[in-house]
Structure 1
C-alpha cells in the first residue's frame, strides 16, 4: 500500500461519520425507496429535476453543518500528504458540501480546489470519470492509485478505472470488489504506519 502514489477518497461515511439517512431523503423528495437518488433525478424531465435537485442541495447543505470526522480521518490524510502522496475527493455530494466538510475536519489545506470533485464536476460514481480526471491532473497511472470508500459505488468506480480499491466499513459486503478492507481510517493508518516501520 505504501507504493500507491494517488489516494482518492469518498467523503460521507469514509472521512466523515455517515450522516445521510437515504430512506428519509428519498421520502422527502418523493423518490421510490428502491431507486438511487441521483440516477432517479437524472431521468426526470428537466423542470422537475431542477426543483428536486435544489431540494437535495438544501438537504445536503443542512447536513454539512453537523458533519463529524470518522476515527483517524484527519491523521490519515496528513500522514499521506507528509509522505508525498496525492490526495483527492470524489463524492456524490455537492462541491460546496465537500469543501465545508473538509474545513470542519481541519484538513481542507491538504486538498487543492481542483482535487475536490462533487457531482457537478464529474459524473457520479460508479462512473469512473472522476477518478480518470484526478489521475490525469496528477499524471499518475491507475495502477499507482487507489479509491477508498464505504460503499459499492466507490469500489465499482475504482475497479472500472483500473485502480486498487479499499473498503472502509465494519462489514466487508463486497469482498470481490475490495482489494483491502478496514473498519475505518484509523485502522488503515495503522496498517500504513506498520508497513513504513517494517521497510
Structure 2
C-alpha cells in the first residue's frame, strides 16, 4: 500500500498500471461525441428522463471501457463535509459553489487565495473523521476487478490530495482497485469541465462514448455528459436528489450494489456489523441535494 501511495506525479496518481503525467488534452467536439453516443445507444439517449427501471437498458455494459467515480457521496456516504460552515467561513452565499467562486474571486490575489484554500482544507480535514464507505463499496470494486478486468476505473474528486489518501486508507484494499486517482491538486480544470475524461480517453485510446461518470451531484453527471459520455446518478435512496438531478443522468441507481447489477456484476455480499458498512439507502435517505450540494 505504501509503495502505491508513493507513486505520485503532478497531474495524476497512478496506482495500478502507472500512467505518466501528460499535459491536458484538447477536448473533442461535443457535437461529434454526442453523435457517437446517439449512434451507439439511440437518438433519444440524452433526451429522455425516465426511471431507473427503464433506464437500465440504456446503458450497455458491454460497450463501456472506462468508469470514473466521484468520491464523496458516491464511494463514501454523503454529508461528511459541512459545506454550510465552509461557505460561512469563506463569506460565500449558500447558492455559490466553493471552488469556482474562490478561484474567480481571488485569481489575482495569491495571498487571499491561499487563505481561502486553507479554510477549505480545514473543513475537509474535520470531515475526514466521519468518512464512511457506501454499502458494498469494496464488494463492487472487487467484482469490477475480478469480472471486468478490461474496464479502466478512476476516481475523480474535487477534494484535496490529502483527503484522497485518507479515502484510500479507509478503503483498505490492496492492491488499490483503481487505475488512477485525481484530486483538485492533480488536474485542472475540475469537473464539470470534461477535460479529465478527454485526457484519460486520449491516453488509453478510448472513445468518450465508451465512458461513464458515476456520481451523486450534477457536476459529476455533467462532466460525463459534457465529454460525450454517459452518466449515472447514485441517489442514496433520496427522492429529492433523484428529482433534482434526473435530467443530467442517463441512469439512476440508489447505491453501489444496484450499479454493480447495472453492469451485470455478481457481488459477494455478506452482512457486516461494521458501522462503516451500513446500508447507504438507510443511512442517507435524508440527504438532500443542498446538504451535500457541492459534491466532491
Q: TM over 0.5, yes or no?
A: yes
- The farther-off stretch of 100-109 and 159-168 is 100-109
Partners of 1:76 and 1:185 within 8 A in 2: yes
Report the counterpart of residue 252 of structure 2 in structure 1.
Answer: 181
Q: How does 1:164-179 map to 2 (within 5 A)?
A: 164-169=230-235, 170=237, 171=239, 172=242, 173-179=244-250
Query: Structure 1 residue 5 and structure 2 residue 65: aligned?
Result: yes
Query: How many angstroms apart in 2 are the aligned matches of 1:140 and 1:178?
Result: 21
Report the counterpart of residue 111 of structure 1 in structure 2.
Answer: 178
1:98 deviates by 1.4
Query: How many angstroms apart in 2 are the aligned matches of 1:152 and 1:138?
Result: 26
The structure, 1 or 2, with the larger RCO (C-alpha pairs under 8 Å, 6+ apart) is 2
TM-score of the superposed pair, with normalisation by structure 2: 0.61
Report the counterpart of residue 34 of structure 1 in structure 2.
Answer: 95
> How many aligned residue pairs are there?
194
Partners of 2:82 and 2:127 within 8 A in 1: no
TM-score of the superposed pair, with normalisation by structure 1: 0.89
Query: How many angstroms apart in 2 are the aligned matches of 1:194 and 1:102?
Result: 23
Q: Deviations over 1:53-106 (max 9, x none)?
A: 022112213322331001121111121122111100111101221121122022
Query: How many angstroms apart in 2 are the aligned matches of 1:135 and 1:61?
Result: 32
Query: Structure 1 residue 14 and structure 2 residue 78: aligned?
Result: no
Unaligned runs of 5+ in 1: none
User: RMSD of the alignment, in Å?
Assistant: 1.9
Equivalent position to 2:120, from 34, 48, 56: 56
Structure number with larger C-alpha Rg: 2
Runs of 4 or more, structure 1, over 6 Å off, are none
Unaligned runs of 5+ in 2: 1-59, 268-296
Q: Equivalent residue of 1:47, what SS?
A: helix
Query: How many angstroms apart in 1 are the aligned matches of 2:265 and 2:67?
Result: 18
Equivalent position to 1:191, from 238, 262, 268: 262
Query: How many angstroms apart in 2 are the aligned matches of 1:175 and 1:55?
Result: 32
Q: Equivalent residue of 1:176, what SS?
A: helix
